[in-house]
Chains A and B, each alone.
Chain A
Amino acid sequence: MKVNMKVKSKKRSLLLLAVVCAVSLVLQGCVSGESSGRSETGGGEAAGRPVELVFSTHWVGEDGKAGVVQKIVDDFNAQHEGKAKVRIDSIPDDDIYQDKMKTNLATDSLPDIFTFYYNPVESQRYYSSGKLLDLKPYMNDSWAQNMNEDVLSIGRFDDQLLAIPLDQMITPIFYNKSLFEAAGIDTFPQTWDDMIEAAEALKQNGVYAFAMGTGENAWSAMLLYSYIVSSIGGPDVMRNGLDDPAYVQAAELLRQLFAYAPKDAIGATYQQYASHYLNEKAAMIVNGPWMISEFMEKGGEALAAKMGVGTSPAAQNGKGKQGALISGVGWTMAAKKQEDEKRAEYAAKFIEFFTHPGNAKQIFLESGEIFESTNYSIEDGDPIDPISQEILKKLNEAPQTFDYFEGMTSSAVKIEFPAALSGLVLGEYTPEQFVDMLKKANSE
């Protein structure tokens, strides 16, 4: 009898244990569910504790702005000690960063503060999602006075201010003056025919003309294509869809120019083709001022001194002008919509602090990137590197500015571009088929 009782009691205990396990698992699930929902945000709403905010950024590691961005965050934290603290969430690759922000947008797990590239198509997705904090109520007079209203307008949506434009994305054609000189080229090519002649001269001299590749998003090749398309079709060509014949003509010219690219151009990632330029095996690369820090880092003052800033050559009977530069809004900064007013307030305060003229100027001086939305003055004694000075000079002289292709199309086209381009260069697609591939992706 006692034995039976013991067995029954044991069974009851086991049943109880099972129930406890099941309930605890469910509760654990609830708790972890809550925490996973907040995985991209900091905590600290509880009374007395500082508000903790997560700032996701790719301006970390070897990026030219990493140091100054970290300093801005540190300064903000020092200024709001005990009240708010911003923590950097590092994602050291801009492509991966953009993909992650897209996924975060889709899964409603945006970080408290983040950036995204301005693009009339893609930015609308962020704006219309209803997940972004309206910064308008937080924009006091002193903040507003620091900002350039013309540029700020691109962050406005439905009478809200959802993003603050940061840098001006200027992407000149950098060229190596020594390699040009050695190949007997006196001036930077003024027309695309001159460009092919120059490329041929460089080839004869054992140097590749262009450092570019079709890997990742084919960044430099895409920018070169943007120059060619706009020089043929004019500065507004990318606002009118992909039907303009300029796209096909530009594809044919781009295919020709790939004959002067390194042997590993098909599939080459940015790191691979940029290294050809930095090692002086290629004479030209289309890229932004953020590359200046790489010139200094890889080749020091000696390499930086060889860098020239080229602008768009003209196309025969083209609508674009010689001397034009690709220029437009690059990254924009936004905050996640918050339920807690304190968190919203400090997220907005951080963006205000980040875009303060003093900080914006510091970023420009250290990385060469121009903050377009923020009003700050450049003094004579400011230590601006010669390449940045040259870029600013060329920008002021530019008769036109061009858009860049990736910034004017959807993500689907951006993804299709490298595949279509490799087909074009390998002779699998005609220029017409190349453009058709892009159109098809655009329509999906």
Chain B
Amino acid sequence: MKNHHRLGVALFLIPAMAVFAVYFIYPVGFLVYTSVMKWDSITPMEFVGLDNYRRLLGDGVFHKSLLNTLAWGAAAVFLHIPMAIVVAMILSRKIAGWKFFRTVFFIPNLISTLALAMLWQFIYNGEFGLLNELLRSVGLGAWQRNWLGEMHTAFPALIGQWIFYIGFFMVIFMSFISTIDPALYESAQIDGATGLKQEWHITLPLLKPAVSIAVLLALTDTLKNFEAPFLLTNGGPVNQTMVLSLHIYNKMNAYQYGYANTLAVMLIAIGAVMVLLVRLLFREKDV
């Protein structure tokens, strides 16, 4: 490449690089820098070396929030996305009313998390909740409980309020399926493959790029997860539903900005590892 071409390319890259530096490199650099400080955001910072990182080892709430974040990610990968794939496959067969069902599945994505959280508060409420009413009406009154307030049910209930909102990924998968050449299905049909076999041997393998994107998006969403735990349980009871973002928020509110930023560095590191793993996993399988 000639020198003036290189200069041209460099100049064109400047705006993007400037935005990247201002909105990513600087904040991350600042996080890393302040993660080794004791800082309440008001008085001057005090260098504490790796004390904040050592504190992570003994921070039971961090451990719990990390486990919950990973469990949420696992639920996204092994339940949420497979459900979206199955529904996308069924609706892509253009069954009767498929457009209606596509809209129904997608609608929750258009509603704010706040409104959905309010709705689920009413469903799970231990005093007048719809779920308890339903259980009572079918003779399962003994199963009634304060779903978001008990140690063993709070986290599953929190996952449960989100797991069925598959509309976003369903639409991604449906658009991918629509690009698959119909001739593949026709020839499979001639060879005697049933509908299920066609999905298994044709649709699923060809969906791999979409699955890769979906897994990546779902995992990064999991790491950023804040609104639902904040609004529905505030991390309780006894931190059973604590997630990393909420733990960071709490530490900031307690004026422990140095430690909050240490947690944020961990969040970024975990995100980076997740992205690498997903890319590695799907690259290995792509031939």
Contact = CB atoms under 8 A, between A and B. Distances in A.
A267 B256 contact: no
B8 A19 contact: no
Contact of B236 (A11, A15, A99, A419): A419
Interface in A403-444: 410-412, 415, 418-419, 422-423, 426, 428-429, 441, 444
Interface string B69-101: 000000000000000000000000000000000
A19 B235 contact: no
B18 A411 contact: no
B71 to A, nearest CB: 19
B4 A426 contact: no
B220 interface: no
A401 interface: no
A418 B236 contact: yes
A422 B148 CA distance: 12
A263 B146 contact: yes
B151 A426 contact: yes
B1 to A, nearest CB: 14
A413 B151 CA distance: 22
B42 interface: yes
A444 B18 contact: no
Contact of A422 (B15, B236, B257): B236
Interface stretch (B180-188, B202-210, B246-254, B263-271): B246-254
A268 B121 CA distance: 9
A18 B254 contact: no
Interface string B1-28: 0001001100110110011001000000
Given A103-B252, A106-B41, A263-B146, A22 B237 contact: no
A264 interface: yes
Contacts of B12: 18
Contacts of B154: 267
Given A102-B253, A215-B236, A266-B149, A22 B11 contact: yes
A262 B127 contact: yes
B10 to A, nearest CB: 9
Given A15-B8, A266-B150, A444-B256, A21 B237 contact: no
Contacts of B259: 444
Contact of B42 (A125, A264, A441, A444): A125
Contacts of A426: 150-151, 237-238
A103 B249 CA distance: 11
Contacts of A262: 126-127
A375 interface: no
Contact of B253 (A21, A415, A429): A415
B178 interface: no
A14 interface: yes
Interface residues of A, number: 44
A22 B43 CA distance: 37
A266 B237 contact: yes
Contacts of B41: 105-107
B42 A105 contact: yes
B126 A99 contact: no
Given A22-B15, A419-B239, A426-B151, A263 B234 contact: no
Interface string B209-252: 00000000000000000000000011111110000000000101
Interface in A93-129: 99, 102-103, 105-107, 125, 128-129
A96 B22 CA distance: 28
Interface string B29-44: 0000000000011110
B18 A267 contact: no
Interface in A73-105: 99, 102-103, 105
Nearest to B40: A125
A264 B125 contact: yes
A411 B15 contact: no
Nearest to B149: A266
A284 B102 CA distance: 49
Given A264-B149, A426-B237, A128 B11 contact: no
Contacts of A19: 11
Nearest to B249: A99
Contacts of A268: 149
Nearest to A99: B253
B8 A11 contact: yes
A246 interface: no
A128 B43 contact: yes
Nearest to A267: B149
Contacts of A264: 125-129, 146, 149
A412 B18 contact: no
A276 interface: yes
B42 A129 contact: yes
B255 interface: yes
Nearest to B127: A264
A18 B6 CA distance: 13
Contact of A25 (B18, B146, B252): B18
Nearest to B154: A267
A26 to B, nearest CB: 7
7 tightest A-B CB contacts, nearest first: A266-B149, A106-B41, A422-B237, A264-B126, A412-B254, A18-B11, A267-B149
Interface of B: 4, 7-8, 11-12, 14-15, 18-19, 22, 40-43, 121, 125-129, 146, 148-151, 154, 233-239, 250, 252-257, 259
29 contacts: A15-B8, A25-B15, A26-B18, A99-B253, A102-B253, A105-B41, A106-B252, A106-B255, A125-B42, A125-B255, A128-B43, A215-B233, A216-B234, A263-B127, A265-B146, A266-B236, A267-B146, A410-B254, A411-B253, A411-B254, A412-B255, A412-B256, A415-B254, A418-B234, A419-B236, A422-B149, A426-B150, A444-B254, A444-B256
Given A11-B4, A264-B125, 16 more contacts: A25-B15, A25-B18, A105-B42, A128-B42, A128-B43, A215-B236, A216-B234, A263-B127, A264-B146, A266-B150, A410-B254, A411-B255, A418-B234, A419-B238, A426-B150, A441-B254
